[in-house]
Structure 1
Amino acid sequence: MVALRFRILLVAAALLAFCGALGAPFQFDDFSLLNDPALNSAHGWNHVFTATQTRPLTFLSFWVNLQISDAPWTFHLVSLVLHLACVWLASGLLLELLPLRAAWLASAVFAFHPLQTEAVAYVFSRATLLAALFCLLSLSCWLKGRRWWAFGLFVCGLLAKEEVAAFPLFLALLEWSTRRSKAAVGPIAAMCAAALAAGLRTIYATSMIAGSGAGTQAGLTSFDYFSYQGVAILRYLQLLLVPIGFTVDAEVRVPPLAAALAWGVIVVVAILAWRTVRAAQPGFWVLGGLLLLLPSSSIFPAEDLAVDRRMYLPLFCFAALFGMLLQKANQKLLYGYAALLLVLSFAQTRVWMSPEALWMEAARHAPSKIRPKRQLARVVQPAQAVELMEEAKRLAPEDAAVATDLGLSYLRANKPEVALGEFGRALALDPNSAMAIHNRGMALLLLGQADAAKGDFARALEKDPCLFDAHWNLRRLGVVRTMPSGCAWTRRQAELLQRPEISSAP
C-alpha cells in the first residue's frame, strides 16, 4: 500500500513538473510533421511499411494523432501521458531492484529531473518515449521470467526508435551479475539479432533519405562523431549531478586533447565500475547506463552531437546509481533536492513554451554556433533578426543557408533591395538551389519587377518541378501551370493549388 501511494504521488509530481508542455507550440523539427505528405495523407499509414521507414510505430502514432487533430496540445498530451506511463513502470521496477529508500530517490530523479524535459516537451521526441516505454515493459516481463514476452516488447521498442538497440546488452549484464540463468541465452541472442537488423536498416534508410542528418548525411565521419561523444556523455552526467546549463543545441566540439581526456575519464570510470558489477552494486548501474547510451553516443554519426533526450532511458540506470549513492543522506536534504528538481523541471518546461526563449537560451550557451542564431532570427522582430543573421554571416560567410536566412530577414524588415543581394549570394554559393532562385524572384517581385520575378519562379521549377512556393507565386501572378504528378505535397498544399482563384498567400 505504501509503494502504491508513493507511485501515485510520483506520477502526480511528474504531471505537475511537465504540465506546462501542454501549452507549448511546435518547435524545430516538429513542423516537419505537419509538412510530411505521408502523414498528412488519408492513406499515410501505408508509409509505415516502406523500406526507408525505420520507426513505423512512432510514425503510425503521429499519423493517428493528425487524423484527430493537428493542434500542438494534442501531440503534447500524448507525450505527457507516455512519460507518466514510463514513470509508473520505472518506479515499480526500481522498487523491485533497489533498497526501498534508494528506489524512492531514484524514481523521483527519473520522474522529474530537468534532463527529461526535452523528451517530454519536444513532440519529435515521441520516438524516445515510446521506445523507452516498451523497454521498461520488456524489463518488467524479464524480471517475471517471461523472457519471450520481453523479446516481443523489445522488438516493439526497436520499431519505435532504433536507439534502444543496446537494451539486450543491459539485460545480459543484469543476468550475468545476478542469476546467470542459461534460459536467458536464447531470448538475449534473439534480441541482439533484432537489434543488429534494426541497425542495418537504419544505416540503409539514413543513406537513402535526403537530409536525414544521420549516418552518411550527418556531415562528419564516425571517428569525428565518436571523438566528441566523450564530452557529450560527461555533459549528460554533469547535468544529472548539477541540473543547470540546459540548452537545446549544446556545443561539445572541443580540441582533440580534451576529447581524448573525456574518453579517458569514462574508460577509467567503466573499469572501476566493473569491479563491483557482479554484486549489482553501483558499478552495475554505471555500466548499464553507459551501455544504453552506446547506440546514440558512440560511432553512428548524427547531426546533433549532444541532445538531452538521449539520456531518457539511460537515466533509469543513472537514477538508480544516484539513489544508491545517496540513500543514507539526510532525509530532509533529499526531500529538498527532490523539490528543487521539480521546480527546475517546471521552469525548464516553461522555456520550451516559447520559441524565442528556447533559442535565446541556446544562442547564449553556444555563441559561436550558427543554428541557434538562424532559429532565433525566425521568431524575433525583423531588426533583431537582421542583427543576428549579420553576426551569423561573419561567422560563416560561405554558408548558403545563412545567406538565405539573412535575405529573408531583410525581406521581413521591408528591405527587398538588400535582400536581393543576399539571395544572389546564396545562389552563387549554391547554384543548383531551386529555393535560392525562387527567393530572388520574391525580392524582385517586391521591388516591382514582376516579369523578372516570373522568370525566376519558372527557372526554380526547372530545377525542382515540385517546388510548391514557386507554383503558388506564379498562380498569384496569373500564370497557371500543369501540376506535375508524383510531388510530395501535403494535402493542404494540393488543395490550395487546385483552387480556381487565389486571393491570399497560404
Structure 2
Amino acid sequence: MKQARSPKKKRKTTVVVDDSGSFAVVDYQIALKPFATGLLIVLVLAFAAHTISLWSGFAYLDVSNIDPINNLRDHKQLWNDLLLQCLTSPLSQPLVQASYLIDVQTGSLKSAAVYHAVNLGAHVVNALLLYYLILRLGKYQEADGRLKLNPYVLAAAGAGIFACHPLACEAVSYISARAALLVTMFYLGSLHLFMTGFTTRDIKLAVTAYLFCYLSLVLAVWSGDQAITAPLAFILLAVILKPSQESYKAWIMDRPFEFFAQLLVAVLIPCVLLLRYIAPVGNGFGLESLDRLPYIATQFKFLVAYYLRCFLLPLGLSLDPPISPANGFSDPLAILGVACTLGIAYLAYRLRNSIVLSFACVLFVLSVLPFIFIVQPELVSDRRIYLSLCALSIFPGFLLASLSTTRTMLAVLLSVLFLGGLTGISNWRNWQWRDGISIWKEALDLNPQSARSRAMNAWALAFGGKFPEGARMAEKEYAGNPYKAVLSVILGTHYGNIDAKKEKEYCKTGLALAQKQHLSPELIWRMRAGLADASVKTGDYKTAVREARKALEVQPNNTLILITLGKAYLGLNNPNAAFVELQKAYVISRQRGLQLPDVIVPMTRAALGCGAEKYQDLAYGMANQARRVFGTIPEIILLQAYAALETGRVNESMAHISLFLSSERPTAECYYLLYGAQKKLGNEKDAATFLRWAKAVDPDIQKKMVLTLKRDIRDKPLFMSEEDKENLDLKGPDIDSKVEKKKKKD
C-alpha cells in the first residue's frame, strides 16, 4: 500500500482562538483513494474468514435462546416487555432479544441462515468501525506531528487482523454470542461520535454528535455489561487527544463542562448494576457458580493463560480449555494476570505521546474489567474477548506498519502470510461451530480428561440428533462424572418412554443438584419439565402441576410443557384449567405450522369435561381429527364414542363402542359410556348395571369422566349386525362376578 501524502496538503496543528479563550484542535483530512483501498482490504478479510458461517446450523444453546421468542403468539406484547425491560433491567440484553425477534419475524427457526447473516453483517460493521477509528486516531496523531507511520497502512493492518482473527469466530458463528457483536458496534460507534463532538469547532455538530453518542451508549448498555466502561473511555480518549503544544491543565480547563459531563456519565452509568440483573448463561451451562474471589482470580488466570495466549498463537481454542479454575490469588497465573493488566494500564501512560497505542491499551483494560469483576455463570468463552480483540489487533498492526516504512516488500510478504494464516484458522474454527456436536467434540479432543467436556459431548449428541449415542455415553459417565445434573437430563429424557419411575428419579436427582449448585436456568427448566412429565405418567399430578408451572416461568410458550400441565390438570379433575393450557399449546403449534398430535386427545377430553355445549361440539370435531391422525386405535375409538354421546349422537356412540369391543376387553371407560348411552335411551335398568360395573373396575371413574347427558338425541338408530350386537352383550367384569359370588355365599 502506498503512502498517500500530498505536498499541497501538509498536516499541521491549528490553534483557533475564540471569545472563551484558547481552544486547541488538530485539523486533518482523509484521502479517498488510500481510505477506500484499506476499506476494501478489511472487507475482503472479514468475508474470507467468516462467510463459511452462513452454512452453519444452530449450535449449543441457540435453539433454547431463540425458541421462546419463536413460540410467542403475540410479538407486539414482547416488544412492550422489552421496552419495560430496558428501564427495569437494562443489562439483561434486551436489545439482543429484540434482534432475535426481528430475525424471527423475517426468517424462521427452521433456517439458521438469517441469524448467521445478521452476525456476519455485524462483524463486518465492527471491522469497518475499528478501521475508521484507528485511521482517525492515526491521522490526528500524524497531523500533530507525533506519527511517522502511514496511518492508512496502520488502520488497514490493525482492522484486518481483527476482521480475520480466530478469536472472533465464536461471536460470529455462534448465534447466541450476538451480544458481543452489538455491544462492540455501539461501543465503537459512541467513541466515533464522542471524538467528533469533542474535536469539532462547530457547536451544532458537537451537540448533535454528543446526543447520538449518548444514544449509542444506551444501546450498548442494552446489549451487554461491557458498555458500562464506555464513559471512562471517553474521558481517557479526551485526555490522550491533547495536542503536543498544549499542557494537560490548559487542555482540560478549556473544556470544563465537557469533561464534567463525561465524568458525571461515567459515575452514573455503572449504577445500572444496582438494578435487577441476571447474568446471561453464556458458556456457563452446567457449571457451578464460583464465589466472587475465586471467580475474579480465575478470570485473571484465563486472561493470561488463555485469551492472550490464543491471541498470539490462535490454536487450541475451546469452550473448555485444559486450564483449571483458580482457588484464589495464591495461583501464580492469577497473579500474572493481575500484573499483566496493571502493566498494560501503565503502558497506556508511558505511551501517552502515541495516541493510537495509548488508547489501544486503555480500550483493552476497560473492556476486560466488566467480565473480570461482574460474577457470571460462565468462566471462559471467546466472545468475552471480542471487544478487547479490537484493542489487541492494533499492536501487531502497528508493527507491520512500522516495518512497511523501511522494508515494504518484507512487510507485504509477512502480512500476506500472517493474515492468510489467520483466515485459514478462522475458517476451520467457524466450521467447528457448524453445530453443537462438532464444537463439543473438538473440545473433548483437546481436553479428553475433562469431565465437563465428556458430559457436554453426551449432551450435544443427545440433543443434536444422535440421542441413542448420547444416552449411552451419559449412562457410561453417570457414576463417576461430577456433572450429574447435565447427565440426569439426558437419562431422564432417555427413560421417558421406557420407565417413568426411572425418568422421575433422574430428573428429581438432577433438579436437586442443579438447585444446590446454582446451575443455569436453562438446565433447571429442562429438569423441571422432565420431572413434570414423569409425575404425570406416575399419577403424581400435584407435583406435575408445580414443576410444569415453574418450568413455564422460563419457557412460557413451550408446547410440550403446556401439554404436560394440561394432562396434570386432567388428572386432578380440573378440565377447565386443562383446556386453557392445552388450547395454548394447540394455538402455538398451529401458528408455527406444526402438527402436534399429542395435544388433540387430552384437549378433546378437557373440552368434554368442561360440559358446555360449544366445547362439546369442538370436542366432537377434534375426536374425528384424532381418528384421522392416529387411526383406529382403541383409545381414539372410545374418545369418539365419548364425544358422540355428549353431543347427542347416542347411536353413533354405540357403534364406536361396538367397534372397540370387537378387539378389546371392556374397560371402566367403556362401561361408563354404555351407562350413559343406555340412560339416554331410557334403559334405566341396563344403565344402572353398566354404572355398577364401571365403578367396580374404577371407583373414581365418575370423577375422571364428566358425563352431562344434557343434549337431545340427534341421530337415528344405526343398522347393527349380529356381530355388533354380540359385542355389546356383556356379562360384566371379573371383579363384579367375584362380588356377586361373595354375596351369594354370605
TM-score (norm 2): 0.58
Q: What is aligned with 1:66? A: 104
Q: After TM superposition, give the deviation of residue 197 of structure 1 in Å.
A: 3.2
Q: What is aligned with 1:239? A: 310
Q: What is aligned with 2:39? A: 7
Mapped to 2, the partners of 1:96 and 1:269 lie a distance apart of 26
Secondary structure of 2:576's partner?
Answer: coil
Q: After TM superposition, give the deviation of residue 185 of structure 1 in Å.
A: 0.8
Choose from 147, 166, 185 the match for 1:133.
Answer: 185
Q: What is aligned with 2:231? A: 168
Mapped to 2, the partners of 1:310 and 1:473 lie a distance apart of 38
Q: What is aligned with 1:342? A: 423
Q: After TM superposition, give the deviation of residue 200 of structure 1 in Å.
A: 2.4
Choose from 104, 114, 117 the match for 1:77.
Answer: 117
Instruction: Pick closer, same or farther for the CA change 1:373–1:457 going to 2, 3 Å.
Output: farther
Choose from 20, 23, 26 the match for 2:52.
Answer: 20
Mapped to 1, the partners of 2:283 and 2:428 lie a distance apart of 30
Instruction: Pick closer, same or farther for the CA change 1:492–1:280 going to 2, 3 Å.
Output: farther
Alignment of structure 1 residues 193-272 onto 2, 5 Å: 193-201=267-275, 204-206=276-278, 219-234=289-304, 235-250=306-321, 251-254=323-326, 256-267=330-341, 269-270=343-344, 272=346
Cα deviation code 1:195-241 (max 9, x no counterpart)? 2133223xx2328x9x8999xx9722221210101122111111111
Q: After TM superposition, give the deviation of residue 305 of structure 1 in Å.
A: 0.9
Secondary structure of 1:160's partner?
Answer: coil
Q: What is aligned with 1:192? A: 266
Alignment of structure 1 residues 384-399 onto 2, 5 Å: 384-396=469-481, 399=484
Instruction: Pick closer, same or farther for the CA change 1:175–1:397 going to 2, 3 Å.
Output: closer
Q: Is the 8 A contact 1:249 1:372 kept in 2?
A: no
Cα deviation code 1:394-438 (max 9, x no counterpart)? 443583442232343466xx8x35x85464244246469896586
Q: After TM superposition, give the deviation of residue 56 of structure 1 in Å.
A: 2.8
User: In the alignment, residue 142 of structure 1 is paired with which amino acid?
Assistant: F
Mapped to 1, the partners of 2:352 and 2:107 lie a distance apart of 50
Choose from 393, 415, 418 the match for 1:319.
Answer: 393
Higher mean alpha-carbon deviation, 495-504 vs 132-141, is at 495-504
Instruction: Pick closer, same or farther for the CA change 1:90–1:284 going to 2, 3 Å.
Output: closer
Secondary structure of 1:455's partner?
Answer: coil
Asked whether 1:118 is paired with 2:203, we answer: no
Instruction: Pick closer, same or farther for the CA change 1:80–1:409 going to 2, 3 Å.
Output: same
Instruction: Pick closer, same or farther for the CA change 1:135–1:187 going to 2, 3 Å.
Output: farther
User: In the alignment, residue 576 of structure 2 is paired with which amino acid?
Assistant: T
Larger radius of gyration: 2
User: In the alignment, residue 377 of structure 1 is paired with which amino acid?
Assistant: L
Alignment of structure 1 residues 325-336 onto 2, 5 Å: 325-329=399-403, 330-331=410-411, 332-336=413-417
Q: Is the 8 A contact 1:457 1:473 kept in 2?
A: no
Q: After TM superposition, give the deviation of residue 465 of structure 1 in Å.
A: 3.9
Instruction: Pick closer, same or farther for the CA change 1:172–1:321 going to 2, 3 Å.
Output: farther
Mapped to 1, the partners of 2:561 and 2:217 lie a distance apart of 45
User: In the alignment, residue 4 of structure 1 is paired with which amino acid?
Assistant: A
Runs of at least 5 residues in structure 1 that lack an aligned partner in the other structure: 445-451
Choose from 286, 290, 299 the match for 2:365.
Answer: 290
User: In the alignment, residue 311 of structure 1 is paired with which amino acid?
Assistant: I
Q: Is the 8 A contact 1:115 1:240 kept in 2?
A: yes
Instruction: Pick closer, same or farther for the CA change 1:218–1:200 going to 2, 3 Å.
Output: farther
Instruction: Pick closer, same or farther for the CA change 1:14–1:45 going to 2, 3 Å.
Output: same
Q: Is the 8 A contact 1:173 1:288 kept in 2?
A: no
Mapped to 1, the partners of 2:396 and 2:261 lie a distance apart of 30
Secondary structure of 1:36's partner?
Answer: helix
Mapped to 2, the partners of 1:386 and 1:33 lie a distance apart of 23
Mapped to 2, the partners of 1:286 and 1:273 lie a distance apart of 7
Asked whether 1:36 is paired with 2:48, we answer: no
Cα deviation code 1:291-332 (max 9, x no counterpart)? 111111x22111111111112222111111222234334311
Cα deviation code 1:97-129 (max 9, x no counterpart)? 234333221111111111111111111222221
Q: After TM superposition, give the deviation of residue 476 of structure 1 in Å.
A: 8.4
Mapped to 1, the partners of 2:527 and 2:189 lie a distance apart of 49
Asked whether 1:158 is paired with 2:190, we answer: no
Q: After TM superposition, give the deviation of residue 357 of structure 1 in Å.
A: 1.0
Choose from 79, 87, 112 the match for 1:45.
Answer: 79
Mapped to 2, the partners of 1:402 and 1:314 lie a distance apart of 35
TM-score (norm 1): 0.83
User: In the alignment, residue 487 of structure 2 is paired with which amino acid?
Assistant: V
Mapped to 2, the partners of 1:15 and 1:443 lie a distance apart of 48
Mapped to 1, the partners of 2:81 and 2:187 lie a distance apart of 24
User: In the alignment, residue 320 of structure 1 is paired with which amino acid?
Assistant: I
Q: What is aligned with 1:57? A: 95
Instruction: Pick closer, same or farther for the CA change 1:13–1:430 going to 2, 3 Å.
Output: closer
Q: After TM superposition, give the deviation of residue 289 of structure 1 in Å.
A: 0.5
Mapped to 2, the partners of 1:439 and 1:11 lie a distance apart of 47
User: In the alignment, residue 30 of structure 1 is paired with which amino acid?
Assistant: D
Mapped to 1, the partners of 2:565 and 2:235 lie a distance apart of 61
Instruction: Pick closer, same or farther for the CA change 1:481–1:395 going to 2, 3 Å.
Output: farther
Q: Is the 8 A contact 1:386 1:409 kept in 2?
A: yes
Mapped to 1, the partners of 2:319 and 2:540 lie a distance apart of 37
Choose from 548, 567, 580 the match for 1:464.
Answer: 548
Asked whether 1:406 is paired with 2:491, we answer: yes
State the Cα RMSD in Å: 3.6
Q: Is the 8 A contact 1:289 1:317 kept in 2?
A: yes
Asked whether 1:96 is paired with 2:166, we answer: no
Q: Is the 8 A contact 1:272 1:283 kept in 2?
A: no
Instruction: Pick closer, same or farther for the CA change 1:259–1:388 going to 2, 3 Å.
Output: farther
Mapped to 1, the partners of 2:293 and 2:124 lie a distance apart of 37
Q: After TM superposition, give the deviation of residue 345 of structure 1 in Å.
A: 1.1
Number of aligned residue pairs: 486
Q: Is the 8 A contact 1:362 1:372 kept in 2?
A: no
Q: After TM superposition, give the deviation of residue 471 of structure 1 in Å.
A: 4.9
Cα deviation code 1:366-414 (max 9, x no counterpart)? 4424253343332363453234324542443583442232343466xx8
Cα deviation code 1:40-99 (max 9, x no counterpart)? 232210111133463232222222221222232111111111111111221111122234
